[in-house]
């Protein structure tokens, strides 16, 4: 009996040792707290690129640490730890891309060419390969076979004024649910991007570009309206407007996207 117990204990300890500890994002968290400036209690933010570009050592160290994570280790993490890792990686590499050309750009789109957008450049070293930002977002973060959470659209940041705010802290697996929910409420509360006027609901074009992500059944949402109903308070809808939305009688229009760089020096 004692021998059997010892054998079981040994197997249990060996098995528990296979689970990799979540990635430590403390360096990225520190950088965000140092260089991201938030407005309106987090509804929008800007980046102090002018100061950041003068000292990129910590960012380089963080990116190097990301590069060292292999697929086997990544696969051992739970879904929230994986998703937090990918979102942070996307945002950090986006910052690095901007800093590589700063201040000689007015928009991240300036870093593309006639034939290739900046999001299709393969410069991100991650999980044993070299990828583009598009591949990280669309093949991994948005993949219906992986996470299926449409709220990621309020967390990934494309370094533009029209983007949801770059959060002033790193995403962490055990806090991810609260962080994504917070980002969603903050973005929908931003009246520069989402508002009602003349009986029409004006939304960020993010909801147009990625509408299908909000209609794939995540948490039972099968239409964009279903999703928006649950955030009607953040949208500032009255009870009457909420009922109109629920009945699918609310006019919806999509606003223009502001591609200017989310630079603290020039952001309105």
Please tell me the predicted confidence (pLDDT) of residue 267: 57
Please tell me the predicted confidence (pLDDT) of residue 14: 41
Q: What angle do CA 156, 144, 117 make, to 5 degrees?
A: 45
pLDDT confidence tier of residue 78, bands split at 50, 70 and 90: very high
Angle separating helix axes 26-35 and 57-67, nearest 10 degrees: 150
Give the span between the Cα atoms of 120 and 118, in whole angstroms: 5
Give the span between the Cα atoms of 268 and 17, in whole angstroms: 50
Convert the pLDDT of each residue in 159-210 to its tens digit. 999 999 999 999 999 999 999 999 999 999 999 999 999 999 999 999 999 9
Please tell me the predicted confidence (pLDDT) of residue 41: 86
Please tell me the predicted confidence (pLDDT) of residue 42: 86
Please tell me the predicted confidence (pLDDT) of residue 145: 83
Give the span between the Cα atoms of 200 and 182, in whole angstroms: 25
CB 235 within 8 A of CB 207: no
Convert the pLDDT of each residue in 211-220 to its tens digit. 999 999 999 9
Q: pTM here?
A: 0.91
Tell me the average pLDDT across 35-64.
96
Q: Does a cis peptide bond (omega within 30 degrees of 0) precede residue 103?
A: yes
Please tell me the predicted confidence (pLDDT) of residue 18: 58
- Pairing state between β 129-132 and 195-197: unpaired
């Amino acid at each position: 009996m004692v021998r059997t117990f010892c054998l079981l204990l040994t197997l249990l300890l060996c098995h528990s040792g296979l689970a990799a500890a979540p990635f430590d994002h403390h360096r990225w968290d520190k950088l965000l707290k140092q260089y991201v400036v938030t407005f309106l209690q987090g509804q929008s933010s800007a980046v102090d690129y002018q100061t950041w570009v003068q000292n990129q050592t910590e960012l380089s160290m963080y990116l190097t640490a990301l590069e060292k994570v292999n697929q086997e280790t990544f696969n051992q993490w739970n879904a929230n730890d994986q998703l937090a890792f990918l979102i942070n990686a996307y945002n950090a590499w986006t910052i690095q891309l901007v800093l590589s050309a700063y201040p000689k750009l007015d928009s991240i789109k300036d870093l593309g060419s006639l034939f290739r957008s900046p999001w299709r450049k393969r410069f991100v070293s991650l999980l044993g390969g070299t990828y583009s930002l598009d591949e990280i977002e669309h093949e991994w973060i948005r993949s219906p076979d992986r996470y299926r959470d449409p709220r990621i659209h309020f967390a990934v940041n494309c370094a533009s004024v029209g983007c949801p705010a770059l959060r002033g802290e790193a995403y962490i697996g055990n806090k991810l649910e609260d962080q994504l929910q917070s980002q969603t409420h903050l973005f929908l509360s931003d009246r520069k991007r989402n508002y009602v006027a003349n009986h029409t609901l004006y939304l960020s074009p993010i909801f147009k570009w990625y509408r299908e992500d909000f209609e794939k059944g995540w948490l039972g949402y099968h239409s964009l309206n279903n999703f928006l109903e649950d955030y009607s308070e953040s949208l500032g809808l009255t009870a009457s407007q909420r009922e109109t939305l629920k009945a699918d009688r609310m006019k919806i229009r999509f606003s223009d996207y502001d591609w200017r760089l989310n630079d603290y020096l020039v952001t309105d």
